[in-house]
Amino acid sequence: MAGSRKPARAEEPNRRADIVRAASRLFAAKGYAATTIRDIAKAVDMQSGSPFYHFKTKHDMLRAVALEGMETIARAVGAAAAQGGTPREVFDRMLLAHLEQLLGEDGRCFAATLLHEGRHLDPEALAELVVQRNRYEALWQEALKQLKRAGEIADDSPVARLFLLGALNWTVQWYRPDGGRSVKQIARQLSTLLLKPKL
Amino acid sequence: MAGSRKPARAEEPNRRADIVRAASRLFAAKGYAATTIRDIAKAVDMQSGSPFYHFKTKHDMLRAVALEGMETIARAVGAAAAQGGTPREVFDRMLLAHLEQLLGEDGRCFAATLLHEGRHLDPEALAELVVQRNRYEALWQEALKQLKRAGEIADDSPVARLFLLGALNWTVQWYRPDGGRSVKQIARQLSTLLLKPKL
DNA sequence: CCTACCGATCGGTAGG
DNA sequence: CCTACCGATCGGTAGG
């Protein structure tokens, strides 16, 4: 509508990445099925047929968004886990990393798409994603195991991991950056809720 | 496909309720936007135009599903909260009631639609739902307050409530009735994870 | 509740 | 990457 021509920062326009980013925003806001190719094209100032020069199908755009979302989170939390320290320090760093990717400016639309639109992926793309997700969740299982060994948490079972990830992933539904609560605060509150008092 | 004519148990066919139930299943499985009126009609053995004899628009079907989902959960958990007992007893009963509605045979498709398709509701229907949701969440806030007062939980802030509801609502994503875990077990594990040991 | 239908829109493509 | 377009499908309706 309001002529939103991009600043076009010289060099490598990388229109493919533009499409993926626009798609992530639209998929997150309206859902995959309700987003049209024309929506995406308009968001990057293209004609309606042009996105197909970069992607074979609409489904391929969804796959690109979902995979990028998963990879980004796994990379950030993996790095946090690899830094070492007490089980509690590791866990707190992982919480913060996960929430920063989920709620941060750049990542939130990728994460929301990943978490909500997975059912529109074909079996092959879904399987690919599940492999990565299992690897990712194993990081958390290990972190819980260390916490339990240190006597800092009441339960380190797979169900506990699912509850933890549920509490984290659900933040996408309610967290608003302008709501006065920082991501760091939120991460700390979850730590407080789950771990034994620090004394 | 496979001629699925209903047994038609004599008396009051109540086709409207049939449509709502079929819609809840389809909305939960494929999403609102990807579900067609023809899908719904076929599921209740009607012709494609006939559902509009019962509902003015597809959107009205979504509203009916979402409202019924919200009301059912609120009623079940409200009853659990009203039964009295120690804060811990009340909380455990509420956990079980919420999970039973969310994961039980009848409720799960209503709940999944409620939790995932809210963005397709128009502002008016959404506002109606938010009013009920706020009332519902206040039940949980009060339960947390009582737990905190009794020294059974580390945090009773609004963020703690959101984490709790996130852990609960996320179960829709992973719980499978045939997975060997009962709903009661799951409820108990969340209680263990969040509350101080019973000693 | 069915028959028959409509206008709009959609994902995708041919050819440049 | 645009122009011009296609076949399919969609939500919804008129009339019975």
Share of chain B above pLDDT 70, in %: 93
* A55 compared with B179, residue with greater pLDDT: A55
Q: What is the pLDDT of residues B22-47, one digit of tens each?
A: 999 999 999 999 999 999 999 999 99
pLDDT band with cut points at 50, 70 and 90 for residue A1 = very low
How distant, in Å, are the alpha carbons of A46, A169, B68, B72, B111 from that of B170?
38, 8, 19, 18, 11
Confidence of residue B7 (pLDDT cuts 50, 70, 90): very low
**Cβ of B133 under 8 Å from any chain A Cβ?**
no
Our measurement of CA B64 to C1' D16, in angstroms, reads: 29
Average pLDDT, integer, range A37-50: 98
Q: Count contacts between A and B (CB, < 8 Å).
A: 87
What span, in angstroms and rounded, lies between the C-alpha atoms of A68 and A61?
Answer: 11
Cβ count near A47 (within 10 Å): 9
> Is the predicted pLDDT of residue B4 greater than 50, yes or no?
no
How far apart CA B164 and CA A134 sit, in angstroms, is 23
Distance, in Å, from the CA atom of B97 to the CA atom of B77, rounded to the nearest integer, reads 5
Token code pair at residue B47: 């012709």
Which of B116, B163, B171 is closest, CB to CB, to A190?
Answer: B163
Report yes or no: A189 at the B interface, CB cutoff 8 Å: yes
Measure, in angstroms, how far nucleotide C3 C1' is from residue B49 CA.
9
Q: State in Å, rounded, how far the first CA of chain A is from the last one.
A: 57
Interface test with A, best of B183, B189, B191, B196 (most A CBs within 10 A): B189
The Cα B164–Cα B184 span in angstroms is 17
Average pLDDT of chain A is 94
pLDDT at A9: 43
pLDDT of the residue at A179: 84
Rounded Cα distance between A29 and A112, Å, is 9
How far is the CA of B28 from the CAs of B33, B34, B62, B65, in angstroms? Answer: 11, 10, 11, 10
Beta carbons within 10 angstroms of residue A162's beta carbon: 21
Q: Is the CB of B21 under 7 A from strand C?
A: no
Mean pLDDT, residues A99-113 taken together: 96
Comparing CA positions, the residue from B95, B129, B136 lying closest to residue B114 is: B129
Positions of chain C reached by protein Cβ under 7 A: 1-5, 9-15
> What is the spatial distance between Cα A143 and Cα B107, in angstroms, rounded to a whole number?
34
Q: Per-residue confidence at A10, pLDDT binned at 50, 70, 90? A: very low
CA of A122 to C1' of D8 (A): 21
d(CA B69, CA B33): 19
Give pLDDT, residue A5: 38
Determine whether the interchain pair A31/B31 forms a contact, defined as Cβ–Cβ distance below 8 Å.
yes
Stronger pLDDT, A5 or A135, i.e. the higher one: A135
Contacting residues of B for A162, CB less than 8 Å apart = 170-171, 174
B47 in contact with nucleic chain C (CB within 7 A): yes
Contact of B194 with A190, CB cutoff 8 Å: no
Which residue's CA lies closest to nucleotide C10 at its C1' atom? Answer: A36
Distance from CA of B164 to the nearest CA of A (A): 6
B114 touches chain A (CB under 8 A): no
Residue-range domains of chain B with CATH: 58-194 (1.10.357.10)
Does residue A140 surpass a pLDDT of 90?
A: yes
Strand D closer than 7 Å to the CB of B56? yes
Predicted local confidence at residue B106, as pLDDT: 87
**Averaged pLDDT for residues B100-108:** 95
Q: Which nucleotides of D are covered by protein (CB under 7 A)?
A: 1-5, 9-15
Asked whether A90 and A73 are in contact (CB, 8 A), the reply is: no
A33 shares contact with chain B (CB less than 8 Å): yes
State the residue for tokens 């990565």.
Answer: A132
- What does the pLDDT average to over B48-57? 98
Determine, for residues A162 and B171 on separate chains, whether the beta-carbon distance falls below 8 Å.
yes
pLDDT level of residue A12 (50, 70, 90 thresholds): low
User: Rounded to whole angstroms, what are the CA distances from B2 to A127, B6, B50?
Assistant: 29, 12, 21
Identify the band that residue B198 occupies on the pLDDT scale cut at 50, 70 and 90: confident
Q: What is the pLDDT of residues B88-99, one digit of tens each?
A: 999 999 999 999
Average pLDDT over residues B111-122: 98
Nucleotide nearest to A50 (CA to C1'): D1
Min Cα distance A141 → chain B (Å) is 14
Q: How confident is the model at residue B13 (pLDDT cuts 50, 70, 90)?
A: confident
Chain A contact for B170 (CB, 8 A cutoff): yes
% of chain B surpassing 90 pLDDT:
90
**In angstroms, what separates the C-alpha of B68 from chain A's closest C-alpha?**
21
Place of tokens 């009631």: B97
Mean pLDDT of A143-160: 98
**What number of helices (H) and strands (E) belong to chain A?**
9, 0
User: What integer best gives the mean pLDDT of chain B?
Assistant: 94
Q: Which of residues 69-98 of B touch strand C (CB under 7 A)?
A: none
Shortest CA to C1' contact from A56: nucleotide: C12
